[in-house]
Amino acid sequence: MLSAQGFGGPGKMKEYHYAGAVENRFSPYAFNGGTVLAVAGEDFAIVASDTRLSEGYSIHSRDSPKCYKLTDTTVIGCSGFHGDCLTLTKIIDARLKMYKHSNNKTMTSGAIAAMLSTILYSRRFFPYYVYNIIGGLDEEGKGAVYSFDPVGSYQRDTYKAGGSASAMLQPLLDNQIGFKNMEGVQHLPLTQEKAVQLVKDVFISAAERDVYTGDALRVCVITKDGINEQTIPLRKD
Amino acid sequence: MPHLSRASFFTSRKHKPSSTKMATLTMSRPAVAGFSFENCRRNVILEGEVNNLGCSLPAARKTGTTICGVVFKDGVVLGADTRATEGMVVADKNCSKIHYISPNIYCCGAGTAADTEMTTQIISSNLELHSLSTGRLPRVATANRMLKQMLFRYQGYIGAALVLGGVDCNGPHLYSIYPHGSTDKLPYVTMGSGSLAAMAVFEDRYKPDLEEEEAKRLVRDAIAAGIFNDLGSGSNIDLTVITKGNVDYIRPHDEANKKGVRTGDYKYKRGTTAVLSKCVTPLDLEVVEESIQTMDTS
């Protein structure tokens, strides 16, 4: 688009002050890209993320998954600024240990979610630039997904996409899992096989159109038998 | 300026003009040198009005891009990727970045998509007229002159970074042209956001007097470096090989990235979209022309 910034009036260009005071702000944040997705089923939960770490137009790493295992029944996916993702997961791990030592039990998914909300809000005026999604099993063994914003607002969901391609994935999940905008379709409960297949297909589409998503997909399936991880390749361009 | 007599002008018309002034005659002025600032005042006002409404003017689509060219023994090889981005979203997965200038000259374009498209078309048209006037095959240096003079006239506002290559009576030539109008005549050039990745490959493996197959492999590898290491470039590799008397426009030369195969079935049955109301209005039309344009429905 033509910029009229250099135009100071008819017949004149604006005066440029080459030696004048120029303020170059240092930004404490960077955007490292990445997409995270979580789906809750009847007796399972899935947390998936791509493994590309980028900055600007470059790729830092093709093998940097964004899913972090917290307990045997909970996995968290963090995308946004990688520095804050690492610090936040370290803090959560420390708090989990403290809870275990003082209460003699492992934190439940719901408790971790509530705790994360307070951790994030404690930095309300210099936030952690991280989009979090927690996936796990609740006390009754049912799948649970908790989605957060960078300052700690959270809610329990059935499915949620976060990160750079979230705007592309969320409507697709609303349609395929939430059966939104469809008439006369049977609302079948989501099986584990169908959910894993859907997650893989949805990331293939995200990698087509979002430049920050690609390289590989890490899928963590959480059931009462433990956490099962799979890695499948995606587009590398 | 053609001279029109007032009497002959009015007798040919039926209307009774109230004033005795002559009706305005539109005629194109000869091209003036330098940047025309006519529209700047209007643009400032428009930008202000749009910003007051809370919107912003649409940003031009850039192509991200890796383009490059190399001179080999018998001619030039030009290469380009095929991704067009709008911000950090892929707008076109398979766009064509190697543009026709004349039968012996082709031009790759990086930067603002509309600018590269229109600039190359304008110069191609002017070059054809020039070639008819001289009676000779156009020279690459002529195309280079025309492009740089136009881009300089617009002071960099036309965001077109070009790699111009071709073979004429003086042999094979390769130029890189920057948006502000500077040009470089070199044996190997790269442009676009992936130019550093492509240039790394060239600096490693270029040598003078390459064979055609070697040159094609080198350009293919340079573009592949841009595709895999630059987020603004992607999809396939297009090549154009220009030699004396022959042009090979290879699109695609290499489908470096295929879309992943989906295992689920996402076809919707008839009736899945709710029809709230229906109103049928028959139109009386005759079919003049039928054409089919395929789209990527994979």
Q: What are the boundaries of each domain within chain B?
A: 66-255
Mean pLDDT in residue range B190-200: 95
- Could you tell me what percent of chain B has a pLDDT over 90? 63
Lowest mean pLDDT among A34-43, A154-163, B34-43, B277-286: B34-43
Give me the pLDDT at residue B12, please: 46
CB atoms within 10 A of CB A46: 26
More confident call, B267 vs A86: A86
Distance from CA of B153 to the nearest CA of A (A): 14
How far apart are alpha carbons A165 and A206 in whole angstroms? 6
- Residue A15 scores a pLDDT above 70: no
> Does B65 qualify as catalytic in the annotation?
yes
- Domain annotation covers residue A140: yes
| CATH, range B66-255 | 3.60.20.10
Residue B83: list chain A partners with CB under 8 A.
Answer: 237
Contact: B64, A7; criterion CB under 8 Å? no
Q: How far apart are CA B168 and CA B131, in angstroms?
A: 12
Residue A26 lies in a domain: no
Domain count, chain A: 1
Instruction: Check residue B277 and give its pLDDT.
Output: 93
Per-residue confidence band for B52, with pLDDT thresholds at 50, 70 and 90: confident
Separation of CA A135 from chain center: 11
What is the predicted pLDDT for the residue at B182? 96
Q: Is the pLDDT of residue B211 over 70?
A: yes
Tens-place pLDDT, residues B146-173: 999 999 999 999 999 999 999 999 999 9
* Residues pairing with A210 in the sheet: B89
Report the residue from B39, B90, B256 with minimal CB separation from A211.
B90
* CATH code (residue A185): 3.60.20.10
Whole-number pLDDT of residue B23: 58
The answer to whether position A23 is within a domain reads: no
The mean predicted confidence, pLDDT, of chain B is 87
Which pLDDT band holds residue B28 (cuts at 50, 70, 90)? low
pLDDT grade for B27, boundaries at 50, 70 and 90: low
pLDDT for position A3:
47
CB contact under 8 A, B90 and A200: no
Residue A20 lies in a domain: no
Catalytic one of B65, B66, B85, B116? B65
Chain B residues close to A204, C-beta within 8 Å = 259-262
Q: Are A237 and B234 in contact (CB < 8 Å)?
A: yes
> Which residues on B lie below 8 Å from A1 (Cβ)?
57-60
At residue A2 the predicted structure's pLDDT band, cuts being 50, 70 and 90, is: very low
- Mean pLDDT value across residues B15-44: 64
Give the one of A10, A181, A197 whose C-beta lies nearest to B41's C-beta: A10
Q: Which residue of B has its CA nearest to A12?
A: B37
Which residues in chain B have Cβ-Cβ distances shorter than 8 Å to A54? 231
pLDDT per residue over A19-45, tens digit each? 566 677 889 999 999 999 999 999 999
Query: With an 8 Å Cβ cutoff, are B39 and A209 in contact?
Result: no
Subunit contact A2:B64, Cβ cutoff 8 A: no
* Tokens describing residue A56: 């600007």
- Provide the token pair at A160: 């949620």
Cα B85 to Cα B93: distance, rounded to the nearest angstrom: 9
Residue that has been written with the tokens 């009706």 in this structure: B23
User: Does residue A39 sit within a domain?
Assistant: yes
Across the interface, whether the CB atoms of B41 and A235 are under 8 A apart is answered no
> Could you read off the pLDDT of B100-152 as tens digits, one per residue?
999 999 999 999 999 999 999 999 999 999 999 999 999 999 999 999 999 99
A33: left (phi over 0), alpha (psi -120 to 50) or beta: left
pLDDT at residue A95 tops 60: yes
Full-model pTM:
0.79
> Of all residues in chain A, what percent carry a pLDDT higher than 90?
85
Domain that holds residue A100: 35-234
Domain membership flag for residue A77: yes
